[in-house]
Amino acid sequence: MSMQFCTIASGSSGNSAFISTGGVKILVDAGLSGRAIEQALASHSIHCSQLDAIFITHEHSDHIQGAGVLSRRYDLPIYMTRGTWDSAHRINSFGKISDKNRFVLTPDVPVALGDTEILPFRVDHDAGEPVGYTIRYQGRKIAIATDLGHTDANLAQHFSGAELILLESNHDLDMLQFGPYPAHLKRRIMSNSGHLSNVACGKFLTDIYTDATKHIFLAHLSQDNNRPILAYETVRNIMSVGQIDVGGAVNLYLADRYRPSAMIAL
């Protein structure tokens, strides 16, 4: 059976993605209400009772809001790094989670669910111990990183060879620099522990692209400092300059802020 993937939502209003690999079904992040996630999955004829686990990237509310509700309602395990667990409890992000559903991840140590391998890897973001993920099944790989201030060789290693990529394309640098945000918030977003710009996203994708890559989702677009068409065209133009056939050899999508994407089968 193939891998399947869809985004549920992406942006500061909430982030979540669904992955199915044979008999295993997981969420990466649950940053919407439990009801919104239930409705999004139902649009693809998936019931939350079919989920096997929720993997969290970091403790910010737009990534964790619905995790506690879904865990309690459907008896779902939640996987997070120690730093994310500690930070989430300090800010009381999601209420009480039963001990049997609390799992601690260690970056670069894979978790096996059936024949599926989920590998957390470190990213730089202003959170407790944030991670991205690769998901591997029968020789195929999905790579996800939605909040990170910069790219590096470690990120490139994990993304290389992925058939499907979900990567942050948060802001247009000019819109951010000349926009209404206060100076301290602009500095935070542009810092090495902030968010990726459209240009940084496009350059990284061009650098790590291989013939194996067939689907790329641009994620976590800022509502105030970006525009969907601007993110898409900026990344597409950079990749095209790098002789990558966007729309032919590789499909480029925008992860919608509020609506689930089509289901992609690998």
Q: What is the pLDDT of residues 153-182, one digit of tens each?
A: 999 999 999 999 999 999 999 999 999 999
CA distances in angstroms from 102 to 85, 118, 128, listed in the order given: 9, 16, 17
pLDDT at residue 10 is higher than 80: yes
CA angle 33, 36, 38 (to 5 degrees): 110
- When pLDDT is averaged across residues 204-215 and rounded to a whole number, the result is 97
Cut 0.75: pTM above it: yes
For the chain, what percent of residues have pLDDT higher than 70?
98
Domain membership of residue 103 (yes or no) is: yes
Mean pLDDT of the chain: 94
**For residue 12, which amino acid is it?**
S
Q: Is residue 266 part of a domain?
A: no
CATH number for the domain that contains residue 16: 3.60.15.10
Q: Identify whether 53 is part of a domain.
A: yes
pLDDT at 93 over 80: no
DSSP 8-class letter at 175: H
pLDDT band per the 50, 70, 90 thresholds, residue 92: low
- pLDDT of 31 > 90? The answer is yes
Q: How confident is the model at residue 194 (pLDDT cuts 50, 70, 90)?
A: confident
- Assigned domain for 264 exists: no
The answer on pLDDT for 110 being more than 80 is: yes
pLDDT computed for residue 40 by the predictor: 97
Residue 1 confidence (pLDDT): 59
**Nearest CA among 263, 251, 24 for reference residue 137:** 24
Q: Which domain holds residue 130?
A: 3-257
Instruction: Report pLDDT for 22.
Output: 84
Question: What is the count of structural domains for the chain?
Answer: 1
The contacts of residue 225 (CB under 8 Å, 6+ apart) are 170, 171, 172, 175, 176, 179, 181, 189
* pLDDT (average), residues 240-250: 96
Query: Is the pLDDT score of 185 beyond 80?
Result: yes
Domain assignment present for 191: yes
In the predicted structure, residue 226 carries a pLDDT above the cut 90: yes
Residue 200 predicted with pLDDT over 90: yes
CA angle, 117 then 122 then 17, to 5°: 55
Statement: residue 184 has pLDDT above 80: yes
The pLDDT value given to residue 135: 98
Arithmetic mean of pLDDT, 253-258: 96
Whether the Cβ atoms of residue 264 and residue 4 lie closer than 8 Å to each other:
yes
Q: Is 155 exposed, middle or buried (0-12, 13-18, 19+ CB in 10 A)?
A: buried
Q: Decide if 262 is inside a domain.
A: no
- Find the mean pLDDT for residues 120-149: 94
Is 192's pLDDT higher than 90?
no
Residue 88 has pLDDT above 90, yes or no: no
Amino acid found at 37? I
Residue 219 lies in a domain: yes
Residue 2 pLDDT: 83
The pLDDT assigned to 119 comes to 98
Q: Which residues of 193-228 are buried (b: 16+ CB within 10 A; e: fewer)?
A: bbbbbbbbbbbbbbebbeeebebbbbbbbbeebbee
